[in-house]
């Protein structure tokens, strides 16, 4: 999980940590968007049918706008997300963390056609798998990222109740996150597996086996504010 | 200061900030929005403090989304304005096209040479058309320009054709641009292919005596349409070149810089092809006599060329 995080520094000097989204949620968002567009075309076609031949012409204009500009419009006006992306909790940002504008939205969505080639987003997928930040060709050209809107929420309530223990040294943010993640997932492991994993942190806990695992959990509680 | 005291002192302001952000996100306005920047910076400070003093990952996970949302609200791009649209039309677009003069000439050649070649070839051997187009296609085009009567169509079908030209022609132009990212290959292919295709259709129609209906039909919108297609080729080729010759940038960096630079050209291409679709649907098919249509066509060509040659120059 840590490797999909990516930090940008704001002008205020704090790091925004962004969790870039991989191919699977983005594909799902695309399916939802395609479905919505299909419904939209159906509705518009029915309404325009009364206009006969002229209605067909207007429908082609709607089709053109839908295929090329539906994502552009929603990404700019819908605070970075098409309805599908919104449903999956995704948002498009410039790679400096600012909201996507008309230029970037236009570029990334025009190049969608290149990403789609040779079929079913082949080049886009290849590009996403090669790039550390899951950028497809359109994202590379536009300088955009697709990230998860809400980074995972962490709270004390997610941990098993234990007495807090202050870590002996000040932990780096990544280290804190690793300790907290350990405690959050502790209940899904057997005691033996937890002890085995906690052995990796023996230099921190000063103990191996079950005691080490228990100390890690206690430190996680401290990190989440329990005193 | 310990964590409890910190929470006690700051919590209230975070809630206020959160309310303001939610209001701005949903309604786009908030009564005390003028306080947004200062509140936002204080929340940033709090986040930095929480991190440097290890006040807890829970506080971090509470403040971080607030900072992210505040950042989104504060650092937005400029909204579209009429000044920018006018500036783009009067200055930006023609200048950008002139900056690419060499590519414009190259792409015109890639488009026009195959076209002229096919037209010449067809004038020597008319049967060549059947190695370029299917017989059904040839019949279809012949039927389209068979007599003047075809153009006296209902206004209903004018709208249909308008929609079709937008969907089809602008779609082709946008695809030409997009496939330019493959080192320019897609863009060059589209230019040559369309040159051959249009040359085949036009050459055949003229060679088989349909020139009297075909030429007055195409001369009007041709000014916008052919320019639009060539410029789509220019934009696509430039995209490909940014990867081939990135200069002192990384290839991805050069791609990003050039794409950003080409954005006005893409809006311009869309505009040109919209005009082409409009002229083609509502004027080219009108019953106006051929000399009038040649005159209008010539005027449009002169207008388009002088726009790109003289537009946006300093006096």
Interchain CB distance below 8 Å, A113 and B178: yes
pLDDT for residue B76 is more than 90:
no
| B311/chain A closest Cα distance in angstroms | 23
Among B20, B49, B74, give the residue marking a domain's end.
B74
- Alpha helices, DSSP H, located in chain B: 3-27, 36-52, 57-74, 82-87, 93-99, 101-124, 129-132, 135-144, 155-165, 171-179, 185-207, 211-244, 251-279, 290-310
Q: How many CB pairs under 8 A join A and B?
A: 160
By percentage, how much of chain A surpasses pLDDT 90? 24
* Measured distance between the N- and C-terminal CA atoms of chain B, rounded to whole angstroms: 66
Both tokens assigned to B28 = 């786009």
The verdict on B22 and B121 lying in the same domain is no
Which range has the top average pLDDT, B46-55, B62-71, B266-275?
A: B266-275
Cα–Cα distance between B112 and A193 in angstroms, integer?
A: 71
Nearest to B167 among A53, A64, A104 (CB): A64
Helices A102-110/B171-179 angle, 10° precision: 90
The verdict on B64 and B148 lying in the same domain is no
Averaged pLDDT score across all residues of chain B: 85
The string of pLDDT tens digits covering residues B190-233 is: 999 999 998 888 888 888 777 777 787 788 888 899 999 999 99
pLDDT for residue B75 is more than 90:
no
The verdict on B93 and B65 lying in the same domain is no
- Say if B252 is an interface residue toward chain A (CB within 8 Å): yes
The pLDDT value given to residue A1: 43
Interface predicted TM-score of the whole assembly (ipTM), two decimals: 0.85
The more confidently predicted of residues B145 and B311 is B311
The verdict on B303 and B235 lying in the same domain is yes
Tell me which of A165-179, B219-233, B266-280 is least confident.
Answer: A165-179
Number of Cβ atoms within 10 Å of the Cβ of A81: 21
Q: What average pLDDT does this structure show over B121-135? A: 80
Q: Indicate the number of domains in chain B.
A: 2
Interchain CB distance below 8 Å, A141 and B239: yes
Cα–Cα distance between A182 and B65 in angstroms, integer?
A: 22
Q: What average pLDDT does this structure show over B9-27? A: 87
Contact residues, B window 68-107, toward A, CB-based 8 Å cutoff: 68, 71-72, 75-78, 80
Exposed (0-12), middle (13-18) or buried (19+): which is B23, by Cβ within 10 Å? middle
8 A C-beta contact, residue A170 and residue A222: no
Cα–Cα distance between B101 and B238 in angstroms, integer?
A: 12
Among B74, B95, B112, give the residue marking a domain's end.
B74
In a domain, B7, yes or no: yes
pLDDT for residue B51 is more than 90:
no
Nearest to B266 among A17, A106, A151 (CB): A106
Cα–Cα distance between A25 and A79 in angstroms, integer?
A: 18
- Say if B28 is an interface residue toward chain A (CB within 8 Å): no
The verdict on B30 and B155 lying in the same domain is no
**Residues written for chain B:** 315
The verdict on B274 and B184 lying in the same domain is yes
- The enclosing H or E element of A146 equals strand A144-148
The pLDDT value given to residue B153: 55
The verdict on B140 and B9 lying in the same domain is no
Which residues of chain B lie closer than 8 angstroms to A12, CB-CB? 40-41, 44-45
In a domain, B239, yes or no: yes
The verdict on B31 and B171 lying in the same domain is no
pLDDT for residue B149 is more than 60:
no
Interchain CB distance below 8 Å, A150 and B61: no
Cα–Cα distance between B188 and A142 in angstroms, integer?
A: 22
- The enclosing H or E element of B149 equals none
- Say if B65 is an interface residue toward chain A (CB within 8 Å): yes
The pLDDT value given to residue A37: 93
Cα–Cα distances (Å) from A177 to A4, A90, A160, A223, in that order, read: 14, 22, 17, 9
Interchain CB distance below 8 Å, A114 and B260: no
B39 CA to centre of own chain? 40
Cα–Cα distance between A90 and A71 in angstroms, integer?
A: 13
Cα–Cα distances (Å) from B33 to A53, A96, B23, B29, B43, in that order, read: 50, 24, 9, 7, 15
In a domain, B315, yes or no: no
All residues at 6 or more sequence positions from B295 whose CB lies less than 8 Å from its CB, including other chains: none
User: 3-state DSSP call for residue A154?
Assistant: coil
The verdict on B152 and B20 lying in the same domain is no
8 A C-beta contact, residue A16 and residue B67: yes
Interchain CB distance below 8 Å, A61 and B161: no
Q: B10: domain range?
A: 3-74
Residue of B nearest to A155 (CA): B58
Cα–Cα distance between B53 and B42 in angstroms, integer?
A: 16
The verdict on B37 and B149 lying in the same domain is no
Cα–Cα distance between B124 and B189 in angstroms, integer?
A: 26
Nearest to A60 among B40, B51, B164 (CB): B164
Cα–Cα distance between A88 and A102 in angstroms, integer?
A: 22
Interchain CB distance below 8 Å, A10 and B41: no
Both tokens assigned to A11 = 């002008």
Number of Cβ atoms within 10 Å of the Cβ of A158: 16
Interchain CB distance below 8 Å, A53 and B160: yes
Among B57, B74, B91, give the residue marking a domain's end.
B74
Interchain CB distance below 8 Å, A114 and B155: no
Nearest to A14 among B4, B67, B162 (CB): B67
The verdict on B172 and B262 lying in the same domain is yes
In a domain, B51, yes or no: yes
Which residues of chain B lie closer than 8 angstroms to A67, CB-CB? 171
The verdict on B101 and B187 lying in the same domain is yes
In a domain, B114, yes or no: yes
8 A C-beta contact, residue B199 and residue B254: no
8 A C-beta contact, residue B227 and residue B161: no
Q: Which residue has the tokens 């309805």?
A: A83
Provide the 8-state DSSP code for B285: T
| B45/chain A closest Cα distance in angstroms | 8
Interchain CB distance below 8 Å, B174 and A68: yes
Q: What average pLDDT does this structure show over B96-108? A: 92
The string of pLDDT tens digits covering residues A29-86 is: 999 999 999 999 999 988 888 887 888 888 899 999 999 999 999 998 888 889 999 9
């Amino acid at each position: 999980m840590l490797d999909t995080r990516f930090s940008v520094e704001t002008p205020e000097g704090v790091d925004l940590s962004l969790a870039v989204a991989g191919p699977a949620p983005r594909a799902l968002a695309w399916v939802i968007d395609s479905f919505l567009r299909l419904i939209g075309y159906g509705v518009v076609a029915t309404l325009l049918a009364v206009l006969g031949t002229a209605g067909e012409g207007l429908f082609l204009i709607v089709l053109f706008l839908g295929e090329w500009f539906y994502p552009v419009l929603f990404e700019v006006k819908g605070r970075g997300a098409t309805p599908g992306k919104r449903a999956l909790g995704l948002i498009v940002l410039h790679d400096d963390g600012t909201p996507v504008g008309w230029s970037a939205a236009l570029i990334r969505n025009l190049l969608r056609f290149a990403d789609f080639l040779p079929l079913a987003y082949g080049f886009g997928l290849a590009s996403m798998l090669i790039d550390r930040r899951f950028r497809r060709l359109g994202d590379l050209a536009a300088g955009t990222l697709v990230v998860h809107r809400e980074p995972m929420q962490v709270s004390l309530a997610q941990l098993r109740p234990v007495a807090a223990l202050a870590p002996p040294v000040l932990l780096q943010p990544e280290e804190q996150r690793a300790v907290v993640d350990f405690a959050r997932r502790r209940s899904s492991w057997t005691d033996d597996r937890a002890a085995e994993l906690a052995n990796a942190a023996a230099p921190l806990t000063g103990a191996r086996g079950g005691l080490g695992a228990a100390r890690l959990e206690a430190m996680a509680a401290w990190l989440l504010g329990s005193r | 200061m310990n964590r409890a005291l910190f929470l006690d002192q700051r919590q209230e302001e975070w809630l206020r900030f959160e309310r303001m952000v939610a209001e701005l996100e949903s309604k786009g306005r908030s009564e005390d929005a003028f306080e947004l920047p200062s509140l936002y910076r204080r929340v940033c400070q709090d986040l930095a403090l929480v991190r440097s003093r290890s006040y807890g990952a829970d506080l971090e996970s509470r403040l971080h989304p607030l900072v992210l949302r505040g950042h989104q609200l504060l650092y937005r791009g400029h909204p579209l304005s009429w000044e920018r649209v006018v500036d783009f039309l009067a200055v930006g677009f023609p200048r950008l096209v002139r900056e690419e003069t060499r590519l414009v000439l190259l792409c015109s050649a890639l488009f026009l040479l195959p076209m002229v070649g096919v037209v010449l070839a067809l004038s020597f051997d008319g049967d060549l058309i059947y190695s370029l187009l299917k017989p059904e296609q040839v019949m279809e085009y012949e039927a389209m320009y068979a007599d003047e009567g075809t153009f006296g169509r209902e206004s209903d079908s004018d709208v249909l054709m308008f929609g079709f030209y937008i969907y089809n022609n602008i779609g082709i132009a946008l695809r030409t641009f997009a496939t330019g990212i493959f080192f320019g290959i897609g863009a060059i292919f589209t230019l040559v292919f369309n040159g051959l295709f249009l040359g085949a259709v036009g050459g055949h129609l003229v060679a088989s005596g349909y020139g009297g209906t075909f030429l007055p039909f195409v001369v009007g919108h041709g000014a916008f349409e052919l320019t639009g297609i060539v410029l789509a080729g220019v934009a696509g080729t430039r995209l490909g070149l940014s990867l081939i010759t990135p200069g002192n940038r990384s290839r991805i960096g050069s791609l990003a810089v050039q794409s950003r630079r080409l954005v006005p050209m893409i809006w311009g291409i869309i505009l040109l092809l919209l005009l082409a679709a409009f002229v083609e649907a509502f004027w080219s098919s009108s019953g106006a006599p051929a000399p009038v249509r040649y005159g209008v066509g010539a005027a449009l060509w002169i207008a388009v060329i002088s726009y790109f040659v003289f537009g946006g120059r300093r006096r």
